[in-house]
Structure 1
Amino acid sequence: MKFNNKVIWITGASSGIGKSLAITLSKYDCKLIVSARRTEELEKLKGLCKNPDLVYVLPLDLANTDTMKSIANKAISAFGSIDILVNNGGISQRSSIIETSIAVDRKLMEVDYLGTVALSKALLPHFVAKQYGHYVVVSSLMGKFSSPLRSAYCGAKHALHGFFDAMRLEHDKDNVKVTMICPGFVNTNVARNALTADGSKQGDQDEMTENGLDVDVFVQKMITAIRKEKFEAYIGKFEKFGVFVKRLSPRLIHKLVLRSKFR
């Protein structure tokens, strides 16, 4: 698949993976729709892209699921069509299960799972009508195996895999593609912005996140996976092998995670 002249919609585009992805894809002469809550940051991002005139800023809050149909219509109207939706927006969490307010669990499910599902469902009739569309969903290795202090995050990411596996099956006949991108540790602000037990931001960077893949290196690998229309792509350093270890032995991955710095 080539990206030239494709219309690509990226959520969570104001920072981190989404920002780097938008800047990189703009070099392919794509038409981009960039979404996040912070309009000011999106406008700054637009100025960093190769062809700002081909970038449409569309503010979006994934927590407001009732607005997704109208926002999807605005996105389609921007360039007349959408080819790829990159579901990148979301938040993380760092706190023990016993201390975490149920409100935090609910927040993670509303944003990371239900927000992504609502937006994807709102765009689905467009993909079916044109008999082509590609969902790219930024999940996590934590959507394949879990680790301590991330229970709500793991739950939401696991749920995404269940939903989008069904999406891929139901709409294979409509030429609708699904690529699940599963990052390991990537050096972004995801840990600093992670919610703690009471819903406040952690504020600090995790050691493993700090030493994770450079975000631009990650994005190049992500783009390769999108181009190849992979079902799933595990992108990280040593931690990505946890997916294969779990397939062989759930007990072994349990022991390895307990001994690791995932905590």
Structure 2
Amino acid sequence: MTDRTIWITGASAGIGEALAARFAQEGARLVLSARRQSELERVAERCRNKGLSADQVLVLPLDVTDWEALPGAVQTVLDQFGGIDLLINNAGLSQRSLCVDTDMSVYRQLMEVDVMGQIALTKAVLPHMLERGTGHIAVTASVAGKVGAPTRTGYCAAKHAVMGFFDALRTEVEGQGVHVSTIVPGFIRTDISRNALTGDGQTFGEEDEDIAGGMDVSECADVVVKALNSKKREIPVGKGKEMAALWVKRLSPEMLFRLARASK
């Protein structure tokens, strides 16, 4: 990835931050986007400490649900670096609430951030890549995009939608030089559960036991970067029982349902 331009959303923490740090080691030019500029500046400094110069890192605060701002953001990146080689759609929210307790506004927010925001930014970047005849688009989906889990009805719905959209997009553009990768993390040690939405839209504020025992986020980034370098189409990453669920879903959906129901 040396001298390639990589744009990461959700770059202010978690997997996005870890990917930025890992790509910095490879000498990539980085565009770091999220809503919190102060945290982006911290991540940018971390990347510079790994050897990047100031002009190799662009801090670009962005709310992916602000669709009208996205074309201007794309132009800013093109003006700064001349091209976009890899877009990693990593912005997202999770959920911790039963369906019966979840307000429709929470479902709407999950869909706006986790699905529509990823689609909107991809659509803003895609014409540039198609015109060049080269590029790579990735999205952080989830094992929850393959299986259903209690207290995550909205999150599972959103991640299933993400998997479907980007799998379909791949069939349209891969023959034109644009690669599409879906990243499928299991339990990774980040603040995803702390930042998850409850049924009334409040912040959950607690760490799940599964998340606490998950894969280290830097190890996750190593796996993902290696797979992206190889242009792997689907990238499962994790180390726990949730990764086995991907195989159980293929072999026996009924068995997986029984296991998921028992975990409630």
| TM-score category of the 2 structures, normalised to the smaller one | over 0.9
Q: 1:57 corresponds to which residue?
A: 59
Report if the CA contact (8 A) 1:46-1:52 is conserved: no
C-alpha deviation, 1:66, in angstroms: 2.3
Taking the aligned partners of 1:243 and 1:21, their CA distance within structure 2 comes to: 24
Taking the aligned partners of 2:230 and 2:141, their CA distance within structure 1 comes to: 18
Report if the CA contact (8 A) 2:22-2:225 is conserved: no
Q: 2:261 corresponds to which residue?
A: 258
1:191 counterpart = 2:193 = yes
Report if the CA contact (8 A) 1:92-1:153 is conserved: yes
1:32 counterpart = 2:30 = yes
C-alpha deviation, 1:258, in angstroms: 2.4
TM-score of the aligned structures, taking structure 2 as reference length: 0.96
Taking the aligned partners of 2:78 and 2:94, their CA distance within structure 1 comes to: 29
C-alpha deviation, 1:255, in angstroms: 1.2
Report if the CA contact (8 A) 1:23-1:48 is conserved: yes
1:127 counterpart = 2:129 = yes
Aligned AA (2:44): K
Supply the RMSD in Å over aligned alpha carbons.
Answer: 1.0
Report if the CA contact (8 A) 1:144-1:158 is conserved: yes
Q: 1:4 corresponds to which residue?
A: 2
Q: 1:246 corresponds to which residue?
A: 249
Taking the aligned partners of 2:244 and 2:71, their CA distance within structure 1 comes to: 38
Deviations 1:180-201 (CA, angstroms, capped at 9, x unpaired)? 0000000100000000000000
Taking the aligned partners of 1:139 and 1:52, their CA distance within structure 2 comes to: 31
1:68 counterpart = 2:84 = no
Taking the aligned partners of 1:67 and 1:162, their CA distance within structure 2 comes to: 25
Which secondary structure does the structure 1 equivalent of 2:71 belong to? helix
Q: 1:19 corresponds to which residue?
A: 17
Aligned residues: 259
Give 1:104-123 correspondences, 5 Å limit.
Answer: 104-123=106-125
Aligned AA (2:234): E
C-alpha deviation, 1:232, in angstroms: 0.7
Aligned AA (1:104): V
Q: 1:42 corresponds to which residue?
A: 40
Deviations 1:195-220 (CA, angstroms, capped at 9, x unpaired)? 00000000010000011001001111
Matching residue within 219, 222, 234 for 2:221: 219
Taking the aligned partners of 1:259 and 1:219, their CA distance within structure 2 comes to: 31
C-alpha deviation, 1:259, in angstroms: 2.9
Aligned AA (1:18): G
Deviations 1:96-150 (CA, angstroms, capped at 9, x unpaired)? 0011000000000000000000000000000001101101110000001110100
Deviations 1:214-253 (CA, angstroms, capped at 9, x unpaired)? 1001111111111111111111122111111111111000
TM-score of the aligned structures, taking structure 1 as reference length: 0.96
Which secondary structure does the structure 1 equivalent of 2:200 belong to? coil
Taking the aligned partners of 1:44 and 1:219, their CA distance within structure 2 comes to: 18
Which secondary structure does the structure 2 equivalent of 1:106 belong to? helix
C-alpha deviation, 1:61, in angstroms: 0.6
C-alpha deviation, 1:64, in angstroms: 1.2
Deviations 1:153-192 (CA, angstroms, capped at 9, x unpaired)? 1111100111111111111221110110000000100000
Deviations 1:54-84 (CA, angstroms, capped at 9, x unpaired)? 1100001122122211111112222111100
Q: 2:104 corresponds to which residue?
A: 102
Identity of aligned residues (%): 43
C-alpha deviation, 1:52, in angstroms: 4.2
Q: Deviating runs (4+, > 3 A) in structure 1? A: none
Taking the aligned partners of 1:23 and 1:43, their CA distance within structure 2 comes to: 13
Q: 1:171 corresponds to which residue?
A: 173
